[in-house]
Amino acid sequence: MLHKALSAATRPVFQHSRRAATTLSAGFPRVTQRSPTKYGGVYTVTLIPGDGIGAEITDSVKEVFDYVNAPIEWEQYNVSGMSSSGEDLFNQAMESLKRNRVGLKGILFTPISQSGHISWNVAMRQQLDIYASVVLCKSLPGFPTRHSNVDFAIIRENTEGEYSGLEHQSYPGVVESLKVMTRAKAERISRFAFDFALKNNRKKVTCIHKANIMKLGDGLFLNTFRKVAEEYKSTGIEVNDMIIDNTSMQLVAKPHQFDVMVMPNLYGAIISNIGAALVGGPGIVPGCNVGSDYALFEPGCRHVASDIMGTNRANPAAMILSATMMLRHLGLDSIANSIASATFEVINSGDVRTADMGGAATTSEFTAAIIKKL
C-alpha cells in the first residue's frame, strides 16, 4: 500500500531508504536553516486560497484539518490575480510567508493582456527563492488510466529561464524576450534532483533540454547537469538527457522509462501537465515549491479552473494531498499519513468521485467521504 511508505520520505538525504516517494510525499529535505513559526505547539501557516476553485478546495483542507485537530493556525490572505489593485494584499501575504516560512496556496490568475500585472505566482517563487518545484506523477491503483504503474518525479527550476519576465518591444511589431540561465541555479537544481533520487531510492535522472537549438542557454543547463552528475557517479544512478519535444512524445508513448526528470522552468510547466494527464488529471496531483528557507505547497498542475468556480464540482484531492505534504514537512507525519490514507481509500474505492474522475460527487461530498474514512 502506498501510505505505508510515506514516513520514510522525511529521512535525511544521505540515507538510502526504500522507494518512499509517492504523490503524497515529495521527499525533499526539510527547511533546516530556520524553523517554521510555532507558538504553543501550533504551527502558523500562511494560506492563500487563490482564484477559481481555490476557495472551495482550501475550504476542504480546513474542514479535514479541523476534524483531525491538526495543530495548524492559518493566516489567510485572499489575494486575487483577477485585478492589479490587489498588490497591497499580495505584499501582506508575502510578509506573512517570510514570517511563517511555510504556506499553502491555490493558483493565482495571471492575465494575458499586455496591460495586466506580472504573474504573482512567479513573483512569490522568485522573491522567496523557492527554486525547486517538485511534482510526483504516480498511478493510483483504484483509478486506472491508459498507462498503469506510471511513477516519475518532475523537478523544475522555478526562478529563471523564460519566466524571467524580461521582455520589451525594440521596434513596433518586434518583441525581444530574454531567457536568463545561470550556472549557479542550474547546478543547484541539478544537485537537488540527484539528492532527491538518492533519498527516494530512484535509479535514473534525466535532464530535459533544447540544447540543440538554444546552444548557449540550454547548453549551459545541460553541461552543468553533466558536471554535477559526475559527482554522483559512485552512487550508481543512471544518467541521461532528452530534448523536450521528444520527451513529450516519449511520455505519452512510454512513460515508464522516466524516473526523476530535471528541467528549466518553461519545460516543467509543459511536462507537469502531460504528467498529470497520464495519471488522472490535475485534480489528483499535488506539488510543492521549496528553497533553503521557505516552502510553499500547492497543486502540482497549476490550473485556476475558473470554468467550474463556485459550482461545488472541483476535485479537492490535489490540494488536500499537497496539505499532507506540508504536514510532513512540519514533522506531523502521523496526521499527514492518516489524511493521505483516507484520501487514497476514497479514490481507490471508486464510490465517491468528482466529475473529472468520471463521477458526479460534489466537492463537499468528496471531502465528507475523506472525513468518514478518518
- For the chain, the structural domain boundaries read 27-110+120-135+280-373, 146-263+273-278
Tell me which of 115-119, 124-128, 352-356, 360-364 is least confident. 115-119
The residue among 342 and 20 whose pLDDT is bigger is: 342
* Residue tagged 542550474 (cell numbers): 186
pLDDT number for residue 113: 56
> Does CATH place domain 146-263+273-278 in 3.20.20.140?
no
* Percent of the chain topping pLDDT 70: 87
**Residue burial 36-45, b: 16+ Cβ < 10 Å; e: rest:** bbeeeeebbb
pLDDT above 90 (res 33): no
243: which 3 cell numbers?
530534448
Q: Show contacts of 240-244: CB within 8 Å, 24+ apart.
A: 240/204, 240/206, 240/207, 241/206, 241/207, 241/208, 241/209, 242/206, 242/207, 242/208, 242/209, 243/208, 243/209, 243/210, 243/211, 243/212, 244/208, 244/209, 244/210, 244/270, 244/271
| Predicted confidence band of residue 190 (pLDDT cuts 50, 70, 90) | very high
Tell me which of 43-52, 110-119, 130-139 is least confident. 110-119
Of the chain, the end-to-end C-alpha distance in Å amounts to: 17
Return the beta strands (E) in the chain as ranges.
38-39, 42-48, 72-76, 102-105, 132-138, 151-157, 161-171, 174-180, 204-209, 238-243, 260-263, 286-290, 295-299
CA angle 300/328/61 to nearest 5° reads: 60
Is residue 30 packed enough to be buried (19+ CB in 10 Å), middle (13-18) or exposed (0-12)? Answer: middle
| Predicted confidence band of residue 3 (pLDDT cuts 50, 70, 90) | very low
CB atoms < 10 A from the CB of 115, how many?
6
For all residues of the chain together, what is the average pLDDT? 87
pLDDT number for residue 12: 31
Nearest alpha-carbon partner for 278 in 183, 137, 143, 167: 137
pLDDT above 90 (res 166): no
361: which 3 cell numbers?
460527487
Nearest alpha-carbon partner for 153 in 281, 286, 280, 345: 286
CB 329 within 8 A of CB 103: no
pLDDT above 80 (res 20): no
Same fold, 27-110+120-135+280-373 and 146-263+273-278: yes
| Predicted confidence band of residue 118 (pLDDT cuts 50, 70, 90) | low
CATH superfamily placement of domain 27-110+120-135+280-373: Isopropylmalate Dehydrogenase (3.40.718.10)
Helix (H) or strand (E) holding 343: helix 333-349
pLDDT number for residue 110: 72
| Predicted confidence band of residue 137 (pLDDT cuts 50, 70, 90) | very high
pLDDT number for residue 84: 65
Per-residue pLDDT reduced to its tens digit, 287-317: 999 999 999 999 988 777 778 888 999 999 9
pLDDT number for residue 35: 67
